[in-house]
Amino acid sequence: MLESVAGGCLIFLSLSLLVSLYRVVRGPSVADRVIAADTMTTSVLAVVVVGAILADSRDYTDTVMALAVVSFFGTVAFARYLVRGRPVD
Amino acid sequence: MNDSLILATAVRITRPVLFLFAVVLFLKGHNAPGGGFIAGLVTAVAVLLGLLVHGHGNRKTGRPTFLYVVAAGLGLALLTAIVPTLLGWPFFTHSFGFINLPLLGSIELASAALFDLGVYIVVVGNVVTVLHALTERR
Amino acid sequence: MPAVFLAAALPFVVSPILLLFRRPDRRAGLLSAAACAGAFACFVSVALGASPATVALPWIGPLGLSFSLHADPLALFFALLITGVGFLVAAFATSYLDSNENFPRFFSFLMLFTGSMLGVVLSSNLMALFVFWEMTSFSSFLLIGFWHHRERSRYGALKALVVTGSGGLAMLLGFIMVGIVCGSFEIAVLAERGALLAANPWATPAVLLIIAGVLTKSAQLPFHLWLPSAMEAPTPVSAFLHAATMVKAGLFMVARLGPLLSVVPLWTPTLALFGLLTMTWCGWLALRQKDLKALLAFSTVSQLGLILVLLAPAEPDTTAAGLLHLLNHACFKGALFLLVGVLEHELHTRDLSLMGPLRRNMPFTWLLIALAALSMAGVPPMGGFVSKELFLDHLLNGHPLLALLAVAGAVLTAAYCFALAAGLAAGRRPDGPRGQDPSLSLLLPPALLVAATVGLGIFPDQLVGAPVAAATLAATGSSVTGHFAVWHGAGPSLWTSAFAVSMGLALWWGWWQKRVPPASTLIADRVYDHALEQLETRARRLTASYMSGILWRYCSVILLTVIVGVAVVAASQGFVIQDGWSSRHAGPWDLAVCATAILAALATLKARTRLAAILALGASGFSLALMFALSAAPDLALTQIMVETISVPLFLAVFAFLPPYQVDRVRRARPLHAVLAVAAGLGTALLLAASRSQRVAEPISSFFVEKSVDAAGGHNVVNVILVDFRALDTLGEITVLGVAAIACYAIIKLLSEKEAGR
Amino acid sequence: MIEFLVSIALICGTFFIVTASLGLLRMPDVYSRLHTVTKASTLGTAGILAGSALHALETGHGVLPEILTVLFVALTNPVGAHMIARSAYLIGIRMADISVIDEMQRAGEHAHTAHDKD
């Protein structure tokens, strides 16, 4: 039962991955692209977690945490870049 | 002149978590995914977050302090390579053993971990030097 | 702790300690003199058989390399010479160098040199010998260029390094060939395998390469150019390195490997010929020098030629004579250099033609110089006479042409010795600068050396007969027949040496009356400078041609090589892709992830701004990380993600330095880029497929997985490989990381200073 | 039983993440997209990680990493969104024409002279 549910979730998550990619490509302004990239990271995180549940291995906890760090750090770096022209004044 | 108080507080909370996360990654590197290189990158992120928020306000020395960090890391790595030769084993022999600490039970000590520490320090030093240089106010 | 190891290690230990002294602290000199004395005492104890003579430190077992030191009599002979002269020079330098010199640095370099020189003489493994050999070149570079603010010193240091370094490289190649042919690098083992070497066709090139190493190090004819310009070094360095020890490393090598390599027919004649030619030609050049140190430099080169002639045949009698002359030369030449240092210290000039009458105002100094010069000329009561007699004996019964060259050399030597002694006595200009005899501490070391020369002249056998005989036995394997004596009959050699001395006097007398013509620059110097300059301009032109500064040109070059490489491999071996993809449960999400990666890549193409480009690139990076995660590689996924995180701010920070993004300029070349990209992509994909399906051997990963836990105590195979099994590669990688950090830092600092300057 | 709960959590998590990406698609301008994405992705991640935590409980592993990640995401996602919104406003990205009120405008904080971005 869990395998089929997880499989379904993975499909939907892959869909959301593609959709956010569309926004990355299409996004009129830079901010859109940054948000889209942020969603992509979240979808990747979700896929990794579901994959870990399917593979029943505990090794992915660090990868998941790293993904969370990434989305935060990337977003903040971009935000500072947009305003100041350089991530750091 | 840091323009966002919210960011500053958020960073003040997350940085220690990140440093801890890096240490955890480093220590369990030998038996589970982790290791010097990844821990180094995570620490570099933590340092850069601080950089992001405070910029270079307080660092006016202009001396490449993190280059010394790189040198220290390389020195440590070389040490773990050369010391076995002095003790008579062939070059770069790693040894590992278990010691029983009173409260923590038997801890596995591996000289490879020392080399890993060297790698860790070099990675942190490298990333931070490059980014400091790139973003330092001219 | 065997005394040999202690003695050899002492200078290396002292060298860094010396750096702790403050700049004008003369005690550094005393410490290094004490170190030399300590080493001397250790070697004496080893000589007297008090402690074991060999020690071996494992280096790389499988390759047969080990740092093994073996103090046999030949090595001890040199070791005692090095530490003895080293002690005197260190003592002299302490009072010679004026107070604002950087004492700690000077003496630490000196100790570094002494240690590596001892390493050369003591090591019994060819590779260990080579390592120390290169260290002597390196420390001589540091010492010659000690006054680095002076352009001449830098030039001299670089030239010395280039010449001796390239010679060393050739010698390394020779050593490797000999090592492979004879199956071992241990000199003791090699000694018995001469027959093996003789039979092998590779022996001649190997021997020629080793001869190149010897000729460059001992500054023989074609490579003599570096020694005169090495005179820019402080005088104690010239005395120690370029008279007594370093230039004799080549001669030591000839003595040590002589019996083994003389099996090859061309070893002895080549060395003898080069030695004789150098002796005569450089004797002639020495005569025409105005600067005292240059005169001594050329005379050293010619004396080394003489010793080389004696050591070349690797027979006991000539080797003994060679070693005796080597000892004599170390004494009188060392003394002469120190005395010239004294003159320079007092009169502040080294120019022979500007010198005032020395005999009256610096009587004692002049006396020492005269005695040393007489010994060099080979006048009877002095040590030089004994070894020159043996030299003439050896050559007179040789080939008549060689005998003629030898006599001419002897005449020229006598001539420049008189130029030195008598010239200084009278002095060219009566109103020249007047000095007076310096303090005892400056005069004592040279005085000791001159006393040694005189002693060697009067009773050579009693003083050094035994050690030289033992050294010769160790070197050539058979004992000396005759023994040294001041007077051994009025044979033909006595007449020839008397003739040579008188002819020398006449030549000098005739020459001295009319002005000494200034020596033109050496032909070898002109050749060297021209070659170096040509090398630089050609290199600059070549780099400019392909480093055009346009990024996509670099990429296309790289991609082209990938494509060509794959094409060549495919053409030659043929591409076999047997089994299809052994895909594990490739579910629909795999397809989605691949689709994302492809789309992200396409998005990067379409991006009109750099920001959009790196975002799309980030997206493809993440899908790659996802692929790793899904195919059970958490480590790789983690690393990929962290690298993505760090590269985002890196890109952003770099953008500040980049010029505005011009899209159109690239449009013209787009079709070419497309073709190139597709070809490269396909090529790599085919390569991967082929490499997976053409599995020849069992993949090594199984070895790592098995061994990971019990051998290295780690369950995470990836990390265990990185840090334990393949630690050497990781060491290389982190060094690259370190260097990259330094490079980035330097470039960016340069860039911002330039911009700030503008 | 636990497996049932894990599935429920996974489905909720996925539902939120899918809505986040749909929000990205449907919303007219940056600020409203930001609004949906941040909320939805935080909840979605929490749901997925809850599923993983439950699964870990069943197979007898610790749940600390999951909790830490959820807390981290809960803290950092809004901050990230705030920074993006702030920067977007500062560089002068206009709000969609159907929007009604611009409180920043009324608060008198006019946009800085923006660097010429793309």
Give rounded-to-5 percent helix, strand, coil for chain C.
Answer: 75, 0, 20
Distance CA C668, CA C671 (A): 8
Three-class DSSP category at C36: helix
Above 60 in pLDDT, residue C49? yes
Task: Tell the burial category of C530 from Cβ atoms under 10 Å away from its Cβ (0-12, 13-18, 19+).
Answer: exposed
Phi and psi at residue C184, to the nearest 5°:
-160, 155
Q: Which of residues 9-28 of B touch C (CB under 8 A)?
A: none
Helices (H) and strands (E) in chain B, counts: 4, 2
Q: In this complex, is the C-beta atom of D12 within 8 Å of any C-beta atom belonging to chain A?
A: no
Chains in contact with chain B (at least 3 beta-carbon pairs closer than 8 A): A, C, D
In this structure, are residues B114 and C729 in contact, taking their beta carbons and an 8 Å threshold? no
Above 80 in pLDDT, residue C492? no
- pLDDT tens digits, one per residue of C151-206: 989 999 999 999 999 999 999 999 999 888 888 888 888 878 877 778 888 888 98
Instruction: Tell me how crowded residue D63 is: count the other CB atoms within 10 A of its CB.
Output: 16
- Specify which of C63-77, C361-375, D2-16 reaches the highest per-range mean pLDDT: D2-16
Q: In this complex, is the C-beta atom of B114 within 8 Å of any C-beta atom belonging to chain C?
A: no
- pLDDT tens digits, one per residue of C258-286: 888 888 888 888 888 898 888 888 888 88
Q: Do B7 and A62 touch (CB under 8 A)?
A: no
Q: How many domains does chain C have?
A: 2
Above 70 in pLDDT, residue C1? no
Residue A43 or B88, more confident? A43
Å between B34 CA and nearest CA of chain D: 14
- Considering CB atoms only, which of B74, B96, B113 is closest to C738? B74
Above 60 in pLDDT, residue C584? no
Q: Residue B100 has what pLDDT? A: 62
SS3 sequence, C191-222? Answer: HHCHHHHHHCCCHHHHHHHHHHHHHHHCCCHH
Contacts of B58 in chain A (CB under 8 A): none
Residue whose C-alpha is closest to residue C187's, from C115, C284, C258, C131: C258
For chain C, which residues lie within 8 Å of any Cβ of chain D, measuring from their own Cβ? 608-609, 611-612
DSSP H stretches of helix in C429-548: 440-458, 460, 466-476, 492-513, 523-546
Q: Residue C332 has what pLDDT? A: 87
Tell me what the mean pLDDT of segment C332-344 comes to. Answer: 85
Distance CA D70, CA D13 (A): 12
DSSP characters for C224-289?
TTHHHHGGGS-HHHHHIIIIISGGGHHHHHHHHHHHHHTTSTTHHHHHHHHHHHHHHHHHHHHHT-
Å between D24 CA and nearest CA of chain A: 7
Q: Classify residue C597: in a domain, yes or no.
A: no
Residues in chain C, total = 758
Contacts of B71 in chain C (CB under 8 A): 738
In this structure, are residues C333 and C303 in contact, taking their beta carbons and an 8 Å threshold? yes
Q: Which residues contact C678 (CB under 8 A, 6 or more apart)?
A: none
- Considering CB atoms only, which of A17, A65, A79 is closest to D83? A79
Distance CA C743, CA C146 (A): 27
Query: Which of D31, D59, D61, D84 has the highest number of chain A CBs within 10 A, making it the mutation to test binding with A?
Result: D84
In whole numbers, what is the pLDDT of chain D averaged over residues?
83
Q: In this complex, is the C-beta atom of B108 within 8 Å of any C-beta atom belonging to chain C?
A: yes
Above 60 in pLDDT, residue C582? no
Above 80 in pLDDT, residue D114? no
- pLDDT tens digits, one per residue of C665-712: 666 777 888 888 888 888 888 777 777 766 667 777 777 777 766 666
**Amino acid present at A2:** L
- Considering CB atoms only, which of A27, A36, A70 is closest to C644? A70
Question: pTM value?
Answer: 0.70
Q: Classify residue C397: in a domain, yes or no.
A: yes
SS3 sequence, C725-745? Answer: HCHHHHHHHHHHHHHHHHHHH
DSSP characters for C639-700?
HHHHHHHHHHHHHHHHHTTSPP--SHHHHTTHHHHHHHHHHHHHHHHHHHHHHHH---S--T
Q: Do D83 and B4 touch (CB under 8 A)?
A: yes
DSSP C125: B
Å between A74 CA and nearest CA of chain C: 6
For chain B, which residues lie within 8 Å of any Cβ of chain A, measuring from their own Cβ? 1, 3, 7, 14, 18, 21, 25, 32-34, 38, 42, 45, 48-49, 51-52, 55-56, 131, 135, 137
* Cα angle C12, C101, C230; round to 5: 70
- pLDDT tens digits, one per residue of B40-92: 888 988 888 887 777 665 455 556 677 888 888 888 888 887 777 777 666 66
- Considering CB atoms only, which of B4, B7, B17 is closest to D72? B17
Q: Residue C71 has what pLDDT? A: 80
- pLDDT tens digits, one per residue of C498-557: 888 888 888 877 776 666 566 667 778 888 889 999 999 999 999 888 777 777 778 888
Q: Residue D113 has what pLDDT? A: 38
Q: Which residues contact C322 (CB under 8 A, 6 or more apart)?
A: C251, C255, C307, C308, C310, C311
Chains in contact with chain D (at least 3 beta-carbon pairs closer than 8 A): A, B, C
Token look-up 């050094």 returns C464
Angle between helices C27-47 and C3-18 (to 10 degrees): 170
Count contacts between B and C (CB, < 8 Å): 154
Contacts of C742 in chain B (CB under 8 A): 67, 70
Facing residues of B106 across strands?
B100
Distance CA A78, CA A89 (A): 13
In this structure, are residues C476 and C316 in contact, taking their beta carbons and an 8 Å threshold? yes
Contacts of B84 in chain C (CB under 8 A): none
Above 50 in pLDDT, residue C443? yes
Domain map (residue ranges) of chain A: 2-84
Token look-up 């390196």 returns C138
Q: Residue C168 has what pLDDT? A: 92
Percent with pLDDT over 90 in chain C = 8
Q: Residue A86 has what pLDDT? A: 61
Task: Tell the burial category of C754 from Cβ atoms under 10 Å away from its Cβ (0-12, 13-18, 19+).
Answer: exposed
Q: Classify residue C446: in a domain, yes or no.
A: yes
Grade residue D39 by pLDDT with cuts at 50, 70 and 90: very high
Query: Which of A34, A61, A65, A86 has the highest number of chain D CBs within 10 A, making it the mutation to test binding with D?
Result: A61
Rg of chain C over Cα atoms, rounded to whole angstroms, equals 33
Q: Residue C674 has what pLDDT? A: 84
Q: Do A21 and C630 touch (CB under 8 A)?
A: no
Q: Residue D112 has what pLDDT? A: 42
CA distances from C489 to C322, C493, C754 (A): 21, 10, 79
Q: Do D80 and A79 touch (CB under 8 A)?
A: yes
The tokens describing B50, both together, are 């601080």
Q: Do D17 and A46 touch (CB under 8 A)?
A: yes
Contacts of D117 in chain C (CB under 8 A): 609, 611
> A41-50, B37-46, C8-17, D93-102: which has the minimum mean pLDDT?
D93-102
Q: Which residues contact C755 (CB under 8 A, 6 or more apart)?
A: B138
For chain D, which residues lie within 8 Å of any Cβ of chain C, measuring from their own Cβ? 117-118
Q: Classify residue C266: in a domain, yes or no.
A: yes
DSSP C485: -
Å between B103 CA and nearest CA of chain A: 26
Tell me what the mean pLDDT of segment C64-76 comes to. Answer: 81
Q: Residue C518 has what pLDDT? A: 63
Q: Do A60 and C629 touch (CB under 8 A)?
A: yes
- List of E strands, C293-426: none
Token look-up 């390195």 returns C241
Q: Residue D116 has what pLDDT? A: 37
In this structure, are residues C264 and C204 in contact, taking their beta carbons and an 8 Å threshold? yes
Q: In this complex, is the C-beta atom of D112 within 8 Å of any C-beta atom belonging to chain B?
A: no
Q: Residue C746 has what pLDDT? A: 86
The tokens describing C324, both together, are 């005796």
Q: Residue C666 has what pLDDT? A: 61
Q: Residue D45 has what pLDDT? A: 94
Q: Classify residue C443: in a domain, yes or no.
A: yes
Å between C611 CA and nearest CA of chain D: 8
* CB-side neighbour CA atoms (13 Å) of C70: 16
Grade residue C428 by pLDDT with cuts at 50, 70 and 90: low
Q: Do B45 and A77 touch (CB under 8 A)?
A: no
- Which string of b and e fits A26-59 if b means at least 16 CB within 10 Å? ebebbbbbbbbbbbbbbbbbbbbbbbbbbeeebb
Q: Do A77 and C649 touch (CB under 8 A)?
A: yes
- pLDDT tens digits, one per residue of C107-128: 999 999 999 999 899 888 888 8
Count contacts between A and C (CB, < 8 Å): 117
The tokens describing C59, both together, are 């280096």
- pLDDT tens digits, one per residue of C127-165: 889 999 999 999 999 999 888 888 989 999 999 999 999
Query: By CA distance, what is C604's nearest residue in A?
Result: A25
Q: In this complex, is the C-beta atom of C577 within 8 Å of any C-beta atom belonging to chain A?
A: no
Percent with pLDDT over 70 in chain C = 90
Q: Do A83 and B56 touch (CB under 8 A)?
A: no
- pLDDT tens digits, one per residue of B97-113: 666 666 666 666 667 78
The residue segments making up the domain with residue C477 are 129-504
Q: Classify residue C35: in a domain, yes or no.
A: no
Tell me what the mean pLDDT of segment C626-630 comes to. Answer: 81
**Amino acid present at B58:** N
Q: Classify residue C469: in a domain, yes or no.
A: yes
Q: Do A53 and D65 touch (CB under 8 A)?
A: no
Contacts of B27 in chain C (CB under 8 A): none
Residue D69 or C671, more confident? D69
Q: Which residues contact B8 (CB under 8 A, 6 or more apart)?
A: B2, B53
Å between C678 CA and nearest CA of chain A: 22
**Amino acid present at C62:** P
Residue B57 or C366, more confident? C366
Å between A54 CA and nearest CA of chain C: 10
